[in-house]
Amino acid sequence: MGKLKILPAQIANMIAAGEVVQRPASVVKELLENAVDAGASQVSVVVTDAGRTLIQVIDNGCGMSPVDAVLCFERHATSKISTAEDLEQIRTYGFRGEALASIAAVAEVTLRTRRPQDETATEVQVGAFGEVKTATVAAPSGSNFSVRNLFYNTPARRKFLKSDPIEFKHILEEFTRVALTRPEIAFSISHNGRDIYVLKKAKSLKFRVLDLLGSNVAGDVVDLAAETSVVRISGFVGRPDTARKTPGNQFLFVNGRFFRSPYFHKAVMKAYEEMIPDGVTPAYFIFLETDPRSIDVNIHPTKTEIKFEDDSVIFQILYACVKETLGRNSFGASIDFNTEGAVPLPQLGRSFEQYKDVGMPVIETDPGFDPFHTGDSPAPAEAMPGLGRHIDRREDYGRLFEEKTLPLGRILILQGKYILTPAASGLMIVHIGRARERILYEQTLRTLARSGHVTQTALFPVQVRVGANCRLLFEDNADMLARLGFDITPLGTDTVVVNGVPEGYSCESGKVEQLVEDLVLILSEERESLPELMQQRLAEKFATLGAAHAGPLSSPQEAQRLIDTLFAGDNAELTPGGRRIVHIIPLGDIEKKF
């Protein structure tokens, strides 16, 4: 072993930066929190290239003196605590005095800052190797941090950054968390010159949620409130029927600080037990207030985990409070398991569970169906044992195709879910929803590959307030949506208008909002960088969406067309997700029953 050395400050800071600055979003978080701690009433964030090129945060807070403007980049320079007791009762976001030192170790930082009482502002530039330049300049009161070329000196870290949309998504998450805790502060954020959010000072948290997440989230929540000696709880929880398969909009805060807690998440989920199906998560915005001395915010460098002295007590209170709120609004009773005309197992949307269970089958009669007519019965010779197997393996697919080429004169639609029809070796059962999924998948892939258009059904225009960020999703994907048969145009800053949907989508008015929500989920997914993979994934998503939003089959003719299209395609056997579309019950099995 060599001799001991004390690391130069710059290198020590770079190592420490690894903990604090994991990605551009970490910088946004730290700078936003500092601006809030500085008492700002207005904070703007400017981002270029998802933060790789520039992250700028401008506030109108207390500003810094010329001396502090330099000092703030030193490690352990903080104005927020000075004694051990202070550490016990932190009310600010920051207190470690690490963030700016860490950021300046892995990026080029320029600060301009002025206190309201000072005549002139100070500019501090921290360049490569911690080199500091200062100047006296003119600037508005407050602070303006510009962070350029993040990770310029740590190429490994730079290489591990994800695509711009993913990194920017993380930035927006941090922005949202801070904006939610401070409705009284005006926040804005722009990306590559485009305004993403411009949030005015809001009257209350509910208005902030409305501005941030749109009316389809804010409109579906109920108020939460409880006051005990240990904790005060406020905020909102989502209605059970709006719980989603993709988690998102689950927020826990304590004393105004966002934190993660699988434990308290469980308390919330437990309160929803039996009101929501497995695998979905309700939205919630829960604010806890406790004595700062009873929590330890110090256990994690990025400070999203927090230790609670009374965590099991708070668990019980939280559980009881959410449960009581849900009970008071009697959601338990309002869940409707109606299955009529429903499409089975759509993957998206709030309603999927209501299709799951069916009870006694009801047979829909086909007016043209004659149960005594035997003309289409397969000849006994065709019911040979070898042919009478379930079609389980891929190589059997050829046989399935041959079976379909026999005359298929009789069609029965069972419960809107299955098509039953005779096949050479037995009874063929086609799962309607899955067949649609398969057909739509291939159709969508074709449409995405060439520049074809899918025909459209016009609607009475329906306006849906989706929030500024989601409105941008529709704008960014306008071309693709149009090709797939959606006519959706942005309106104002946070609303979209649906004028048309692809042919075959249910036109029932209430369904459109749900459709828009489902589209948001699809469009906001992390995107693959390989175009073919992305097209496949998109096609899968749109296929599930289309199947979920399809109206019921209206006639045996339509069922026949569905079967014909299914078998004309590439693979009639499995959905793109690998689920079985067609079963044949062998004649032998049927005979065994008698």
Ligand X SMILES: Nc1ncnc2c1ncn2[C@@H]1O[C@H](COP(=O)(O)OP(=O)(O)O)[C@@H](O)[C@H]1O
Comparison of 68 and 528: residue with beta carbon closer to ligand X: 68
The counts of H helices and E strands in the chain are 20, 22
> Going by DSSP bridges, is the β-strand pair 42-48/186-191 parallel, antiparallel, or unpaired?
parallel
Tell which one of 100, 348, 523, 559 touches ligand X (CB under 6 A). Answer: 100
Structure tokens at 49: 């290239």
Comparison of 304 and 565: residue with beta carbon closer to ligand X: 304
353 binds, among ligand X, Mg ion, none (CB under 5 to 8 A by kind): none
Can residue 161 be called a binding residue for ligand X (CB under 6 A)? no
**CB 195, min distance to Mg ion, A:** 26
Size of the site for ligand X (CB under 6 A): 22
Q: End-to-end CA distance of the chain, in Å?
A: 85
Comparison of 90 and 243: residue with beta carbon closer to ligand X: 90
Tell which one of 14, 47, 95, 243 touches ligand X (CB under 6 A). Answer: 95
Judge contact between 538 and 530, C-beta under 8 A.
no
AA identity, residue 515: L
Comparison of 47 and 72: residue with beta carbon closer to Mg ion: 72
77 binds, among ligand X, Mg ion, none (CB under 5 to 8 A by kind): ligand X
Backbone angles phi, psi at 134, to 5 degrees: -125, 155
Can residue 96 be called a binding residue for ligand X (CB under 6 A)? yes
For helices 24-37 and 164-181, the axis angle rounded to 10 degrees is 20
Select from 98-106, 164-172, 503-511, 545-553 the region that touches ligand X (CB under 6 A). Answer: 98-106
**CB 57, min distance to ligand X, A:** 7
Backbone angles phi, psi at 250, to 5 degrees: -110, 115
Structure tokens at 301: 């460098």
For residues 575 and 254, give the distance between their C-alpha atoms in angstroms, rounded to a whole number. 45
Comparison of 269 and 306: residue with beta carbon closer to ligand X: 306
Tell which one of 21, 35, 124, 473 touches ligand X (CB under 6 A). Answer: 35
Comparison of 300 and 579: residue with beta carbon closer to Mg ion: 300
Backbone angles phi, psi at 132, to 5 degrees: -115, 130
Select from 31-39, 179-187, 278-286, 298-306 the region that touches ligand X (CB under 6 A). Answer: 31-39
SS (H, E, C) 539-557: HHHHHHHHHHHECCCCCHH
For residues 142 and 133, give the distance between their C-alpha atoms in angstroms, rounded to a whole number. 20
Comparison of 90 and 523: residue with beta carbon closer to Mg ion: 90
Can residue 349 be called a binding residue for ligand X (CB under 6 A)? no
> How far is CA 226 from its chain centroid?
29
62 binds, among ligand X, Mg ion, none (CB under 5 to 8 A by kind): ligand X
**Residues forming the site for Mg ion (CB under 5 A):** 34, 94, 99
For residues 173 and 184, give the distance between their C-alpha atoms in angstroms, rounded to a whole number. 19
For residues 395 and 265, give the distance between their C-alpha atoms in angstroms, rounded to a whole number. 47
**CB 99, min distance to ligand X, A:** 3
Can residue 30 be called a binding residue for ligand X (CB under 6 A)? yes
Tell which one of 99, 121, 199, 288 touches ligand X (CB under 6 A). Answer: 99
Comparison of 44 and 78: residue with beta carbon closer to Mg ion: 78
Can residue 517 be called a binding residue for ligand X (CB under 6 A)? no
**CB 30, min distance to Mg ion, A:** 5
AA identity, residue 21: V
Closest to 70 (Cα-Cα) out of 27, 110, 14, 11: 110
Residues of this chain, 44-83, that bind ligand X according to CB under 6 A: 59, 61-64, 72, 77-80
Match 């695509």 to its residue by tokens.
163
CB atoms within 10 A of CB 313: 14
**CB 188, min distance to Mg ion, A:** 20
Comparison of 58 and 520: residue with beta carbon closer to Mg ion: 58
Comparison of 77 and 226: residue with beta carbon closer to ligand X: 77
Residue 492 burial (10 A CB sphere; 0-12, 13-18, 19+):
exposed
Match 């009801």 to its residue by tokens.
362
Judge contact between 562 and 408, C-beta under 8 A.
no
Comparison of 101 and 202: residue with beta carbon closer to Mg ion: 101
**CB 20, min distance to ligand X, A:** 9
Structure tokens at 444: 């969508």
Tell which one of 25, 38, 196, 205 touches ligand X (CB under 6 A). Answer: 38
CB atoms within 10 A of CB 90: 19
Tell which one of 44, 122, 143, 146 touches ligand X (CB under 6 A). Answer: 143
> How far is CA 449 from its chain centroid?
26
CA distance readout (Å), 239 to 128, 219, 236, 284, 328: 52, 9, 10, 9, 12
Can residue 174 be called a binding residue for ligand X (CB under 6 A)? no
Select from 89-97, 228-236, 276-284, 545-553 the region that touches ligand X (CB under 6 A). Answer: 89-97
Can residue 97 be called a binding residue for ligand X (CB under 6 A)? yes
> Going by DSSP bridges, is the β-strand pair 426-431/582-586 parallel, antiparallel, or unpaired?
antiparallel
Comparison of 84 and 156: residue with beta carbon closer to ligand X: 84
Select from 11-19, 90-98, 248-256, 497-505 the region that touches ligand X (CB under 6 A). Answer: 90-98
Q: Which residues form the interface with ligand X (CB under 6 A)?
A: 30, 34-35, 38, 59, 61-64, 72, 77-80, 94-100, 143
